[in-house]
Amino acid sequence: MGREALVGNGRTLRTWAVQRPGCPSTRNFIAPRPEPRSMLTPQAAPAPEHLTPHDLVTYFRCPYEMELNRARRSHAVDGALGPVRTPADVVPLRHSPLFNPPLGHVSVNEGRLDLGMGDRLVYEDDGEDDLPVLFPSERVKLDARFAPAPHTLIDRELGFAGRPDLVIERADGSFVPVEYKATHLFVGYHEAHGRTFDTVQAIAECRLVEVAFGRRPPHGVILYGDSAGGGAREGWVEIPYGDAEERWLRAALVQIRSDSVRPPVPAERNCAGCEPNAEGLCRYAAARYEGPHHRLPFFEAPRGG
């Protein structure tokens, strides 16, 4: 049995009585308690908050929606809502605090996506069941490194991960992520494109493709299939990906992680397609939930940044 003893410097020592085999006497051995960890001992840095392209998109619309989604995910097993960092007395904002990505060279195109005879499909997210068939089977050459699908692309440096719908390898050897939207192409509401939040997703996916395939995509594509209109208003938007877009992405990830408020941005364009709103989790909602694809374009002037 051990006994506690207080010694001169105030430290508590534990003494142990040990009897050797064949020896009638016992000897006390003093086992000092481990020193408390010095304040100067280097501590491991906490892992950055894991984020996805979808988190970026959601934060860009409404930081509180992203925070509620995060809280829902953290208790996905028992269905309860995890802790939410947004304070109860938060003041709602008119716009998300995340500044716009570079939009100057975004191109908006009506009609079918341009595909060349030398292009082929090298990645497909099998988790999605409504993706369009863009290639005949002989031009589908899925990269074995990302099988079996669905295979999440991971960026360990920036601490985020996600799955584009498709990745096309162009005839010139470049890789292009494609994100499919069932809605129709929006044009005319905004100088660049009606759904700026889609360009956020394209930039994030370009970065993931660059890390996974080892080559920087020249651009990402958002493809609008207009499934409700039979393709009459289909089209695609091409979002360039270069140094400016990567800088924007890095700064956006830092901003999201350091935001301890994550305020709501109540607006019909946001709230009508917000899943936490469908579950009655938001008391700031400005509109009734209309469905998962009910995301309206921005009608206001573009935000600065």
Contacts to ligand SF4 by CB under 6 A: 62, 64-65, 68, 264-266, 270-271, 274, 276-277, 282, 284-285
Q: Give the CA distances from residue 256 to residues 63, 90, 122, 164, 206, in Å, rounded to whole numbers and listed in that order.
A: 8, 17, 31, 21, 19
Q: From 121, 1, 103, select the one nearest 60 (Cα to Cα).
A: 103
Cβ proximity to ligand SF4, 135 vs 284, nearer residue:
284
Minimum distance from residue 274 beta carbon to ligand SF4 (Å) = 3
Q: φ and ψ at 12, to 5 degrees?
A: -90, 130
How would you list the strands of the sheet with 175-181, edge to edge? 107-110, 235-240, 219-224, 175-181, 166-169, 120-124
Minimum distance from residue 66 beta carbon to ligand SF4 (Å) = 8
Cβ proximity to ligand SF4, 220 vs 276, nearer residue:
276
Q: Are 234 and 112 in contact (CB under 8 A)?
A: yes
Minimum distance from residue 223 beta carbon to ligand SF4 (Å) = 25
Cβ proximity to ligand SF4, 62 vs 200, nearer residue:
62
Cβ proximity to ligand SF4, 55 vs 124, nearer residue:
55
Rounded to 10°, the helix 196-213/243-258 angle is 110
Minimum distance from residue 276 beta carbon to ligand SF4 (Å) = 5
Q: Are 219 and 239 in contact (CB under 8 A)?
A: yes
Instruction: Output the CA torsion sign for 142, 146, 152, 153.
Output: negative
Give residues with Cβ within 8 angstroms of 70, minimum separation 6.
55, 82
Cβ proximity to ligand SF4, 217 vs 273, nearer residue:
273
Q: Are 20 and 40 in contact (CB under 8 A)?
A: no
Please tell me the total number of residues recorded for the chain in this structure: 305
Cβ proximity to ligand SF4, 92 vs 150, nearer residue:
92
Minimum distance from residue 110 beta carbon to ligand SF4 (Å) = 29
Q: From 141, 192, 134, select the one nearest 165 (Cα to Cα).
A: 134
Cβ proximity to ligand SF4, 75 vs 145, nearer residue:
75
Compute the distance between CA of residue 241 and CA of residue 263 in angstroms, rounded to an integer.
29
Cβ proximity to ligand SF4, 84 vs 115, nearer residue:
84
